Amino acid sequence: MDFLYIKALHIIFVVTWFAGLFYMVRLFIYHSEAEKKEEPAKEILQTQYKLMEKRLWYIITWPSAVLASFFAFWMLYKNPVYLEMPWMHVKLAFVLALYFYHGACHSIYKQLQRNEVKYNSLKLRIWNEVATIILFAIVFLVVLKNAINWIWGVIGIFLVSILLMMSVRLYKKVRAKKSWDKFEKKLMEEDEKQS
C-alpha cells in the first residue's frame, strides 16, 4: 500500500514540475516580448516578469523537480524490477532529457534575471514545445509499457513535433494578422491619456 502513496506523490510532483516548466517558458516569452516595449512599460513589465519567474522557479518548479525525482528513486528502490523492463530504460532516457531541458531553462532564467535577452519569442515558443514532446513520450511509455511499437512511437513523436512547430508558426501569423500588438499599444496610449 505504501508503494501506491509513493507513486501518487511522484505523479503529483511530475505534474507540478511540468506545469512549472510550461509556465516558466511562457513567462520567458512575455519577458522577451517586453524588450520591444517603450519605457516605462518595458522596465515595469520586465521587473514584474523577473519577480514572477523567480517565485515560480524556486517555489514551484525546482522543488517539484526535486520531489518528483525523490519519489521516483524511492519507487525504484521499493520495486527494482522496474529497472529490468526495456520501456523503463527508454523512459529514463526521456527523463534525462527532461533534466537537460530543466537545466537549459535555468540558464535562460539566469540570463533574463541579468537583463540579457538572447532569444526572441518565436525561438522560445518552439523551445516550449520540447517539454510537450518529452511529456507525450513519457506518458505513452508509462501507460503502454511493452505494448508500444518503438518504430511507430518514434514516428509518432516526430509527427507530433512537426505538428507543434506548424502550430507555433500558424499562431505567429494569426497574431500578426490580427495586429494584437498594435491593439495593445493603442490601449496603453488611451490609458495614458486618461491618467
pLDDT(151) > 80:
no
pLDDT(182) > 60:
yes
pLDDT(16) > 70:
yes
Residue 99, exposed/middle/buried by CB under 10 A (0-12, 13-18, 19+)? exposed
- Tens digit of each residue's pLDDT (9 = 90 or more) over 37-66: 888 888 888 889 999 999 999 999 999 999
pLDDT at site 119: 87
4 Ramachandran zone, left/alpha/beta (phi>0; psi -120 to 50): alpha
- Tens digit of each residue's pLDDT (9 = 90 or more) over 67-78: 999 999 999 999
pLDDT(147) > 60:
no
Q: Which of 55, 10, 46 is nearest to 28 (CA)?
A: 46
Neighbours of 147 (CB within 10 A): 8
Q: Which of 195, 90, 82, 70 is nearest to 151 (CA)?
A: 90
- Pairwise CA distance, residues 104 & 127, whole Å: 10
Whether 61 and 24 have beta carbons less than 8 Å apart is answered as yes
Residue 132 Cα distances to 21, 38, 52, 76, angstroms:
10, 33, 22, 25
pLDDT at site 87: 83
Cα 47 off chain centre by: 21
- Pairwise CA distance, residues 181 & 178, whole Å: 9
- At residue 105 the predicted structure's pLDDT band, cuts being 50, 70 and 90, is very high
Q: Return mean pLDDT, the chain.
A: 85
pLDDT at site 1: 60
pTM flag (> 0.85): no
Whether 53 and 113 have beta carbons less than 8 Å apart is answered as yes
Residue 178, exposed/middle/buried by CB under 10 A (0-12, 13-18, 19+)? exposed
Quote the cell numbers at residue 195. Answer: 491618467
pLDDT at site 46: 87
pLDDT(124) > 80:
yes
- At residue 116 the predicted structure's pLDDT band, cuts being 50, 70 and 90, is confident
